[in-house]
Each structure stands twice: as C-alpha cells, then as structure tokens.
C-alpha cells in the first residue's frame, strides 16, 4: 500500500489572514474565526466592518501597512455580548485588620469573521 501525501501548501496558499486593530488591541484573524474583542456597540446579527487592518496575507503575498492598509477591510457578524472570567481583587494590610475582596468581569463582544477582502 502506498501512502498518499497531502499537499498542505495548496490549502495554505488560498487562506487569507489579517491583523486588525480594535479596542486598543491587535488580533490575528482568518475567515470563519470566532473571536472575543473589547465591547462594541452593535445589534446581534448585524455586520461590523473593521477598516483598521495592519497586515494582510494571502498565500505567499504579504501586505504590511504603514500603519494601516487603506484598501483592505474585514467584515464580521456580531454574535453576542459575553463576560470574561472573574478576576478577584483582594486588598490586605498586615496587622491592621483591613481586608477588602471585590471582583470584576470584563464584558466582551463575540464576533465571527465572515470575509477578508482587498479592494
């Protein structure tokens, strides 16, 4: 029996990749990715367009913005608001009977990347 080698380079060449900036952070995204970003004001199911694209790669070609690419945009659909993991803040002072325990849960927007397009 012969082993069939799968050529993974063909799959990688057709895949589009982008680095977007939103909420003061940068995210590496591909089409059909589901990511959580800082809270965005949008309605569920609506389309969100990210125009601050810092890098675009398709196959062997890579375009790097200085600082952003004006001819590339990323289209995504807004899924829902989600809460992050609870962060516990505990303040304590020795020998003073001072203890304060509080918590915080960051709110995020869950989005699905639909299309990365170059104009």
Residue 113 counted as domain residue: yes
The structure's pTM equals: 0.78
Residue 2 counted as domain residue: no
Residue 39 counted as domain residue: yes
For a pLDDT cut of 90, what percent of the chain falls above it?
Answer: 84
Residue 3 counted as domain residue: no
pLDDT tens string 7-29 = 555 554 578 999 999 999 999 99
Residue 82 counted as domain residue: yes
59: left (phi over 0), alpha (psi -120 to 50) or beta: left
pLDDT tens string 65-95 = 999 999 999 999 999 999 999 999 999 999 9
User: How many domains does the structure of the chain reveal?
Assistant: 1
Residue 75 counted as domain residue: yes
Task: Give the mean pLDDT of the chain.
Answer: 90
Distance, CA of 67 to CA of 55 (rounded, Å): 9
Residue 33 counted as domain residue: yes
- Per DSSP, the residues of 12-74 read HHH-EEEEEEETTEEEEEETT-EEEEE-----TT-EEEE--EEEEEETTEEEEEEEEETTEEE
Domain of residue 26 covers: 8-118
Residue 25 counted as domain residue: yes
Answer yes or no: are the C-beta atoms of 97 and 75 closer than 8 Å. no
Determine the average pLDDT of the residues in 27-49: 94
């Amino acid at each position: 029996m012969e082993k069939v080698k799968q050529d993974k380079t063909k799959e990688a060449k057709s895949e589009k990749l982008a680095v977007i900036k939103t909420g003061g952070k940068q995210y590496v995204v591909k089409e059909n990715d589901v990511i959580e970003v800082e809270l965005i004001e949008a309605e569920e199911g609506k389309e969100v367009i990210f125009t601050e694209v810092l890098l675009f790669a398709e196959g062997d070609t890579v375009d790097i913005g200085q600082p952003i690419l004006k001819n590339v945009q990323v289209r995504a659909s807004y899924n829902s608001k989600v809460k992050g993991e609870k962060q516990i803040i505990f303040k304590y002072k020795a020998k003073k009977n001072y203890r304060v325990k509080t918590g915080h849960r960051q709110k995020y927007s869950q989005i699905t990347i639909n299309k990365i397009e170059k104009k």
